Amino acid sequence: MRSNQLARAVVSTACIGLLSPVVEAGPPEIEAIQQEIAAMKQDYARRIQALERRLAQAEREARDARQEAQRANKEVDRMATAPAGTPTESANAFNPAVDLVLNGRYRAFSRPASENGIPGFSLGDESFKGDAGLSLDESEFGIAANIDDLFYGQFTASFASDAGEDSVSVEEAFIQTTALPAGLGLTIGRFFSGIGYLNGFHSHADDFADRPLPYRAMLGNGYNDDGVELRWLAPTDLYLELGADLFAGDHYPAGGRGHDGLGSWTLFSHIGGDWDESNSWKAGLSYLQAQARDRASGDPDAPDLFSGETRLWIADAVWKWAPNGNPYRHNLRLQGEYFHQDQDGDYRFGDGAPLAYRGHQNGWYLQGAYQFVPRWRLGLRVAGLHADDPGAAFAGTDLDPLGRDPRHYSVMLDWSHSEFSRLRLQYNRDDSRPHSDDQFLIQYIFALGAHGAHAF
Amino acid sequence: MNRSLFSLLAGLALLFSLPARADLRVFACEPEWGALAQVLGGDAVQVFTATTALQDPHHIQARPSLIARMRRADLLVCTGAELEIGWLPLLLRKAHNGRIQPGRPGHFLAANQVRLRERPARLDRAEGDIHPEGNPHIQTDPRNISRVAEALAARMAEIDPADAAGFARRLKAFQTDWQAAIARWEKRARPLRGVAVVVHHRQWPYLLAWLGMRQVGELEPKPGLPPTAGHLAALKARLAVQPARLIIHAAYMDPQPARWLSRHAGIPEVTLPFTVGGTPAAKDLYGLFDDTIARLLGALK
Residue B136: asked if its preceding bond is cis (omega within 30°), the reply is no
Question: Are the Cβ atoms of B226 and A80 closer than 8 angstroms?
Answer: no
Question: Are the Cβ atoms of A271 and B19 closer than 8 angstroms?
Answer: no
Question: Are the Cβ atoms of B94 and A280 closer than 8 angstroms?
Answer: no
Q: What is the pLDDT of residue B19?
A: 45
Question: Are the Cβ atoms of B61 and A274 closer than 8 angstroms?
Answer: no
Closest chain A C-alpha to B136 CA, distance in angstroms? 12
Nearest-angstrom CA–CA distance, A227 and A174: 9
Among B62, B86, B96, the residue with its CB nearest the CB of A184 is: B96
Chain A residue with the nearest C-alpha to that of B182 = A77
Nearest-angstrom CA–CA distance, B210 and B145: 13
Nearest-angstrom CA–CA distance, B68 and A280: 13
Question: Are the Cβ atoms of B96 and A149 closer than 8 angstroms?
Answer: no
Question: Are the Cβ atoms of A82 and B60 closer than 8 angstroms?
Answer: no
Residues 6 or more apart from A302 whose CB is under 8 A from it?
Answer: A349, A350
The CATH classification number of B189-300 equals 3.40.50.1980
Q: Where are the domains of chain B?
A: 20-184, 189-300
Question: A225 has which bridge partners?
Answer: A191
Q: What is the dihedral of CA B81, B84, B87, B92, to 10 degrees?
A: -60
Nearest-angstrom CA–CA distance, B35 and B6: 42
Question: Are the Cβ atoms of B55 and A82 closer than 8 angstroms?
Answer: no
Give percent of chain B above pLDDT 90: 78
Closest chain B C-alpha to A52 CA, distance in angstroms? 35
- B216 confidence band (pLDDT: 50, 70, 90): very high
Strands B196-199 and A139-146: unpaired
Q: What is the ipTM of this complex?
A: 0.84
Chain B residue with the nearest C-alpha to that of A373 = B226
Question: Are the Cβ atoms of B71 and A235 closer than 8 angstroms?
Answer: yes
Chain B residue with the nearest C-alpha to that of A447 = B125
Question: Are the Cβ atoms of B96 and A83 closer than 8 angstroms?
Answer: no
Which helix (H) or strand (E) is A103 found in, with range?
strand A97-109
DSSP letters spanning A45-98:
HHHHHHHHHHHHHHHHHHHHHHHHHHHHHHHHHHHHHS--S---SSTTTTSPEE
DSSP letters spanning B88-155:
HHHHHHHTT-GGGSTTSTTEEEGGGGSPPS---SS--GGG-S--TT----GGGSHHHHHHHHHHHHHH
Q: What is the pLDDT of residue A258?
A: 84
B278, B54 contact by CB (below 8 A): yes
Among A81, A90, A181, the residue with its CB nearest the CB of B114 is: A81
Positions of CATH 2.40.160.10 in chain A: 98-449
Within a 10 A sphere around the Cβ of B125, how many other Cβ atoms?
A: 16
Q: What is the pLDDT of residue A83?
A: 62
Q: What is the DSSP letter of A252?
A: T
Closest chain A C-alpha to B241 CA, distance in angstroms? 31
Chain A residue with the nearest C-alpha to that of B140 = A81
Among A79, A180, A270, the residue with its CB nearest the CB of B96 is: A180
pLDDT in tens, B72-114: 999 999 999 989 988 999 999 999 999 999 989 999 999 999 9
Tell me which chain B residues have a C-beta less than 8 angstroms from the C-beta of A417: 225
Say how many Å lie between the first and final Cα of chain A, rounded: 113
Question: Are the Cβ atoms of A178 and B98 closer than 8 angstroms?
Answer: yes
A198, A211 contact by CB (below 8 A): yes
Closest chain B C-alpha to A327 CA, distance in angstroms? 7
Within a 10 A sphere around the Cβ of A389, how many other Cβ atoms?
A: 14
Q: What is the pLDDT of residue A329?
A: 86
Q: What is the pLDDT of residue B226?
A: 83
Tell me which chain B residues have a C-beta less than 8 angstroms from the C-beta of A194: none
Among B82, B113, B125, the residue with its CB nearest the CB of A83 is: B113
Inter-axis angle of helices B285-300 and B142-159, nearest 10 = 170
**Average of per-residue pLDDT across B208-221:** 94
Tell me which chain A residues have a C-beta less than 8 angstroms from the C-beta of B85: 453
Closest chain A C-alpha to B97 CA, distance in angstroms? 6
Closest chain A C-alpha to B45 CA, distance in angstroms? 17
Q: Is A80 exposed, middle or buried (0-12, 13-18, 19+ CB in 10 A)?
A: middle
Nearest-angstrom CA–CA distance, A190 and A223: 11
Strands A239-247 and A224-233: antiparallel
Question: Are the Cβ atoms of B65 and A282 closer than 8 angstroms?
Answer: no
**Average of per-residue pLDDT across B233-255:** 92
What is the dihedral sign for C-alpha A412, A415, A420, A421? negative
A280, B62 contact by CB (below 8 A): no
Q: What is the pLDDT of residue B130?
A: 75
How is domain A98-449 classified at the architecture level of CATH? Beta Barrel (2.40)
Number of A/B CB contacts below 8 angstroms equals 159
Determine the residue among A73, A77, A81, A319 to mutate to test chain B binding: the one whose Cβ has the most chain B Cβ atoms within 10 Å.
A81
Q: What is the pLDDT of residue A420?
A: 86
Q: What is the pLDDT of residue B126?
A: 73
Q: In chain A, what is the greatest distance between 2 CA atoms, to the nearest angstrom? A: 164
Chain A residue with the nearest C-alpha to that of B142 = A81
Within a 10 A sphere around the Cβ of B107, how many other Cβ atoms?
A: 18
How is domain B20-184 classified at the architecture level of CATH? 3-Layer(aba) Sandwich (3.40)
**Average of per-residue pLDDT across B184-196:** 95
The closest of B249, B248, B245, B237 to B267, measured between CA atoms, is B245
Distance of CA B213 to the CA centre of its chain: 21
Residues 6 or more apart from A60 whose CB is under 8 A from it?
Answer: none
Q: What is the dihedral of CA A214, A219, A224, A226, to 10 degrees?
A: -160
pLDDT one digit per residue (tens) for chain A, 456 residues: 444 555 555 455 444 444 444 445 557 788 888 999 999 999 999 999 999 999 999 888 888 888 888 777 767 666 666 665 444 444 445 578 888 999 999 999 999 888 888 999 999 888 888 888 888 888 899 999 888 888 999 999 998 877 678 889 999 999 999 989 999 999 999 999 999 999 999 988 999 999 999 999 999 999 999 999 999 999 999 999 999 999 999 999 999 888 888 999 999 999 999 999 999 999 999 999 999 999 998 887 778 999 999 999 999 999 999 999 988 889 999 999 999 999 999 999 888 889 999 999 999 999 999 999 988 999 999 999 999 999 888 988 889 999 899 999 999 999 998 888 999 999 999 999 989 999 999 999 999 887 667 778
B267, B242 contact by CB (below 8 A): no
